Amino acid sequence: MRVVKVLNNSLVLALDENGQETILMGKGIGFQKASGYEFNKDEVEKVFVLQDRSVSRSIIRLAAEIDSAYFEISKTVIDYAIETYQMKLLDHIYLSLTDHVAFAVRRVKEGIVVPNFYTLEMRRFNPNEFHVGQYALAVVKERLGIELPEDGAGNIAFHFINAQIDHPYNEKNRRISELTDNVLNIVKYYYHLVYDEEKITYSRYVTHVRLFAQRLVSGQQLPEDSSRLLYDQIAEVCTSEFACVDKINLFVQEQFGVSITNQEALYLVLHIHRVLEDGKIGQ
C-alpha cells in the first residue's frame, strides 16, 4: 500500500494494490513517512476501505483537529473489547469513540463535569460494555495522566452498544435510529437547513442527538434540574433554539407519551445553537 497523505502519526491515507483509497491506522504509522512510501502488511494494524464515505471523510476531518494519541487510545480500547468479549463492531466506533474521548478529556481540563445518571443501570444490564468503559478510563489515565470521572465509563459503554452488529438491543437501536432521524429532520425543516456533513460540529451534533434518543427510548432521561438557573439564563439568549426544541418535545409527547426534561432540552438547545453558529443557513 502506497502513501498518498500522512494525516497524523496514527493515520495515513493510502492506495492499495487495486488503486482503491484506504485509511491505514497504527501506532506511529505516519511518523516520518512521505508520499509514495510503500507499506508492508505487517506495518498496518487497521485498514479502512473507503467504501463508507461518511465514516472515512469524518475520520480524515477528525485527524486534522485532534492529537493522534486519541486515535491510539481508541484503537487500544476497541482491540480490548474485540479480544475480551468477541464484540463485532461497525467501523464508525473508531470515529465516535475517538471524538468522545477527546471531548471528555477537554471537558475535564476545563473543569466541566456532566454527570451520567444511568451508570448503575449500565453496570447492571450491560456489564461487558461497562467494563470496556472502565478499561478506557484506565488507558486514558495511563497515556495522558487525565482521570476521567467514573460516570464516563457508562457513556463509553453506550458507544460499544451502538456499534455492535449483533447486540441484543438491535430492535431498540432501530427505534433509536428512527427517533434520531426524526429529531434531525425537525431541526432541519424548522431552520430550512442544509446540513454540512463534512464538519465535525455536525458529527458531534448527531452523536448527541443519538445519545438523547437512546436515553429517551430506554426511559433514562437526564432528570429535571430543580435550580433552573443555567436553563433560564440560556433561554434568554436562545429563544429560537428553545422554540425548535418545543417542536421536538411535541413530537416526543405524541410518540412516547412523555415530555423532555429541562436538562435534556438544555443540551439539545446548546447543540442546535452550535450547529447554527457553525455556518448553517438560519431562518
| Structure-block grid coordinates of residue 39 | 507499506
What's the pLDDT score for residue 116?
64
What's the pLDDT score for residue 48?
67
Domains of the chain: 2-51 (2.30.24.10), 66-168 (1.10.1790.10), 170-283 (1.10.1790.10)
Give the end-to-end CA distance of the chain in Å, rounded to a whole number. 47
What's the pLDDT score for residue 203?
79
What's the pLDDT score for residue 251?
95
Burial class (CB in 10 A: 0-12, 13-18, 19+), 248: buried
Interatomic CA distance for residues 153 and 265, integer angstroms: 23
Half-sphere exposure of 95 (CA within 13 A, CB side): 24
What's the pLDDT score for residue 68?
87
What's the pLDDT score for residue 131?
96
pLDDT in tens, the chain (283 residues): 888 888 888 888 888 888 877 888 888 888 888 888 888 878 887 776 655 666 777 778 888 888 889 989 998 999 999 999 999 988 888 888 998 999 999 989 988 776 665 677 678 778 999 999 999 999 999 999 999 998 899 889 988 987 887 766 557 777 888 999 999 999 999 998 888 877 778 878 888 898 889 889 888 888 887 777 778 888 888 899 999 999 999 999 999 999 999 889 998 998 899 888 876 443 3
